[in-house]
Amino acid sequence: MSVSFTVQGHVATIALNRPEAMNAIDPETRAELKQAWKRVREDDDIRVAILTGAGERSFCTGADLKKTMPPKETFAELTFGRSESDHLLAGMETDKPLICAINGYAMGGGLELALACDIRIASENAQFALPEVRIGSMPGAGGTQRLPRAIGMSNAMLLLLTGDRIDAQEALRVGLVSKVVASSDLLSTAQAIAGRIAANAPLSVRAIKRLVSRGMDMPLDAAIDHERFAFGLLRDTEDRIEGRRAFQEKRAPQYKGR
């Protein structure tokens, strides 16, 4: 298996499992990753997912150029002729939070996978780059759009136009990652964050992610209107009542996602 998938305590852990190839994405990995995202979306028992890579050298170095040949179909056939996309990020669209635990290199498509997640933490040996411009190409899986949103225009343009590599501390400084931890603590740190999120009311968590993701591209007044509407929807849920009762009774809430 090129992708491992485990679930424990409402948290799914998805690991790219090709350490011998720096966890590069070949066609088999791409297909398995797409199935993993499908399971995350459809399994109501899963509330949070962690994406990481096997080993300590590399999270993901993007496409495996040794095994990935240019498609035979035209771009029009790929865009309009298929019922489902085989894009690198296909299937990652979900209201469930995604945490990326970056162990080592996150290059090209690997960094774009990380950027598609909601929270990014890195090991001390992590390195990041979108080097496509150096080989006459460009990021094609959201890099030119998500990176400026994550770290600001100037920092993003510096990385995108030079193809330069940055280390974990620089990634922390510019806001690309939220935490930098020792390699030995990376997965446990991600699991601890995921556990705290999974303990919260699932509908509230998903509503917040959707509001933040969509609201960033809205005028502020329209985004606040959406926030008020979502607040009203959540007001009458069973979980909201349970949260108040648990607080009054000084116990941990038992949320059911309804």
- Beta bridge partners of residue 181, listed in sequence order: 123
Single-letter code of the amino acid located at 157: M
d(CA 37, CA 31): 10
What is the Cα Rg of the chain in Å?
19
Single-letter code of the amino acid located at 86: D
Catalytic residue among 132, 227, 238, 249: 132
Q: What is the token pair recorded at 199?
A: 């303990």
132 is catalytic: yes
Catalytic residue among 56, 73, 112, 238: 112
Q: What is the token pair recorded at 163?
A: 């193809």
- DSSP states of 128-184: EE--GGGGT----SSHHHHHHHHH-HHHHHHHHHH---EEHHHHHHHTS-SEEE-GG
Assign 3-class secondary structure to 86-113: CCCCCCCCCCCCEEEEECCEEECHHHHH
Please answer whether residues 163 and 130 qualify as being in contact, where contact means their C-beta atoms are separated by less than 8 angstroms.
yes
Dihedral (CA of 61, 168, 181, 95) sign: negative
Which pairs count as long-range contacts for 4-8, CB under 8 Å and 24+ apart, including other chains?
4/54, 5/36, 5/39, 7/43, 7/45, 7/46
Site of tokens 């590399």: 58
**Phi, then psi, of 75 in degrees rounded to 5:** -65, -35
Catalytic residues: 112, 132
